[in-house]
Every structure is written in C-alpha cells, then in structure tokens.
Amino acid sequence: MRRRVPRPRELAPLLKLRRPRFGRRRRLELALTVEDLRRLARRRTPKAAFDYTEGGAESEASIARAHAAFDDIVWHPSVLRDVTEVRLGTDVLGSPSALPVGIAPTGFTRLMHAEGEIAGATAARDKGIPFALSTMATTSIEDVAAAAPGGRHWFQLYMWKDRDRSMALVERARVSGYEALVVTVDVPVAGGRLRDVRNGLTLPPTLTARTLADIARHPSWWFDLVTTEPLAFASLDRWPGTVAELLDSMFDPSVELADLRWIREQWPGKLVVKGVQSVADAERVAGCGVDAILLSNHGGRQLDRAPVPFLLVPEVRRAVGRDVEVWVDGGIRRGQDVLAALAAGADFTLVGRTYLYGLMAGGRAGVDRCLAILENEMTRTLKLLGVTDVADLGPEHVTQLGTQLGSRR
C-alpha cells in the first residue's frame, strides 16, 4: 500500500462541521426509538412519577410477558412488490385515523410533565389520531376539548360506587363533544402496585426528606410543578391519602353486565369496553351493543400474570366477527408491534406508557417525537413486508416464534 500526503482540497469535503445544537430539541432528535425516549424520561423525572408510569402489579410479570410476546413475532415478507407509497391510515369507530394507533387514557398525567393531557391531546389532534382522556386526569374534560378543537376526543370512565358522580362526568363529556365513551371494566379493586406503595405516591407530591433530595436531582421538573396550575385531579375532590388508597376507595366491585347495558342506554355516542381478557367475556360484552372491545390487562397494573392481550386477538376476532371492532393495548413499544396486532386481526391499537415516555422526555415535543418514531417504524416495516396498506395485513404476515412457526410450510 503506497501512501501520500493528502491535498487540502481533498480534505475539505470531510471537514463539513454541523452547527452544534443543545437542549431538549437535540436530545429528542437523537432519540431513535421509544426505548431511547424511555431512558431520557427516566433521567428527567422524579422516581415516584417515573415508577408510577413504568410499574405494574406485584411481580410485574404481565408487563414482561406482553413485551416478550411482541419480541417473539416472526414476519413473513413478500418481495418484488412496488412499495413506493404505503398507507397507514385506517377507520376507527366510523371515522378516519391517520395512524392505526391512538393515545390511551392515562391517569395523573401532569405528574409526568406539567404539559400533561394538553400535550397528548394537541399532539394527537395534529397527527390526526384519537386521544382518550382518563377519569383520573389532571386536566378537565372541558379544558382538553378547548385546547384541541377539531380533535377526536374519547372519555374513559371508571364506574364509581357513587353512580351519580360517574354519570355527571359522562354528561360533561357529551356536552363537550366527546365522540366515544371508553368504559374500563377490569378494576373491581386496585391492583397491587407495589412501587407506588413503597414510594408513598400522593397527588400532589408530599414534601418529605426523600422528596427534597429528589428536587436537587430534577430541578426543572419541580420548577414546572410549582410555577404552573396546582397538580390535582380534574374530576375529583382533593384526596389526602396515597393514590393506592384513593383507587381502593373509588372502584366499585359490584359492577356487572347489567351496568354496562344501563350505560349503553344512557350514552348516545360510540361505546367501547376496555379491559376484556377472555373470549367468553368478549362475546358477552359484544352482546350488549358496544361498538368496540379493547383487549387490555390495564398495562399489567391490575391482575399480575393476566393474559397477554396481543395473544388473545385471533381467537376473539373469530368469536365476535366483524360487527364489533377489536382493539388491543399493552406492551406496544414499536411500530412493528402495532402492525403485528393488526396482522393478528385487531382493528386498532392504543399506547399509554409509550406516549408517556415521550411526554416525560420532552413535553409536547416529546409526544410528537414518539408518534413520529412509531410512524417511521410502521412505514419502514410495511415496505419491508411488501405491503402497501395496513388493511392488507393478515395472519399470513406474522406468526409467533416457537408456536405457529413450526406449522408453516
């Protein structure tokens, strides 16, 4: 190999330096996956708030199993297809969504970042996807509707022991133009969320010696907390105890199928039931005149070792037919996970933790980045599969490692 001294004009193309960029924008640009956002979120958020988002019930086996189920999918691509353009849009509840994924209802969202539910609702509106507001939200039904006019807003309902208070929230949602009611049915009692108990999680956070130490590590989070509207439940009175104690006091263990039928009679819009975890219950719920069934184990936060929602999709799809939409949440961290759920037979998906990682990492800009990551991953995966429309995804495109794979020819 012969060497020589390089000429200056040959080095010039190699020395094009970019202007350095710092701060939140740069951090978010460097996040290429939801896991990258998760790591950012962990650094920027106090432990109690991050653990509330990250944690599950008891041993947290349900969360691990949901992730493993998506990790074990095997794609079966077709080649020599024109995939110059692909379509990610779909119809959900009779109206279009720009992506086959919406933002799930999450409680205490301003605890994660001061922009809270407003960041999620406006990001969803601008992306053209639905946003679901939780009963346990920290922004009111009316304020979310006002902040994101033209957005697709759904309201998630916990049926409390006080039925009048529950239905008063439903009426507020109706008046504010919410198109769908999402009734959560897997909460007869609160799950054993041990991280929250150990952290003594309250809303607003209680100042203790541990909290004061946390302030030093996360000054920007605490600055946002004390310089914005006081952190409180938008739909509830102030609660003096821990979050775990609040949930146990609210949830009604007597809710039955008759209550669902009663809600169907009261609510004039679209009705979704969230928390179905078996084929038999899917069939029972479908018989109540609902518009969609959301297969969900509450993100692994209620019954530990509950069924993995993604794995229920094919059988539930066969059982309820096409008259009722089948949705799924839980464990979705990648665009590939969304597409796998659709290929298995789901009509739509929702993300909770995934969106909150973006929120904690960078507020509204972080939510935008999260949705952009999912969209990019879905677009790339569709093209690599040789599929041009999410509506064309089917069971021929995906199997589970170690199960169905062995039966394929």
For residue 44, give both structure tokens. Answer: 């920027």
Query: Do 336 and 71 meet the contact criterion of CB atoms below 8 Å apart?
Result: no
Q: For the chain, how far is it from start to end, CA to CA, in angstroms?
A: 51
Between CA 382 and CA 113 the distance in angstroms is 33
Between CA 153 and CA 133 the distance in angstroms is 7
User: Residues 163, 168, 174, 175: what is their CA dihedral angle, to the nearest 10 degrees?
Assistant: 170
Q: How far is CA 399 from CA 207, 322, 361, 404, 408, in A?
A: 50, 22, 33, 6, 9
Pairing relationship of beta strands 270-276 and 153-158 according to DSSP bridges: unpaired
Between CA 109 and CA 137 the distance in angstroms is 6
Q: Quick one: 396 exposed, middle or buried, by C-beta within 10 A (0-12, 13-18, 19+)? A: exposed
Residue 266's closest CA among 378, 181, 200, 348?
Answer: 181
Number of Cα atoms under 13 Å in the Cβ half of residue 403: 7
Task: Choose, from 113, 153, 218, 298, the residue flagged as catalytic.
Answer: 298
For residue 322, give both structure tokens. Answer: 């096409």
397 classed as catalytic: no
Between CA 291 and CA 165 the distance in angstroms is 24
Query: Do 133 and 119 meet the contact criterion of CB atoms below 8 Å apart?
Result: no
Instruction: Count other C-beta atoms under 10 Å from residue 327's C-beta.
Output: 28
Between CA 129 and CA 102 the distance in angstroms is 6
Q: How far is CA 30 from CA 221, 370, 380, in A?
A: 21, 12, 19
> Phi and psi of 389, rounded to 5°?
-150, 135
Residue 299's closest CA among 355, 244, 245?
Answer: 355
What's the length of the chain?
A: 409
Q: Would you please indicate which residues are annotated as catalytic (active-site) residues? A: 298
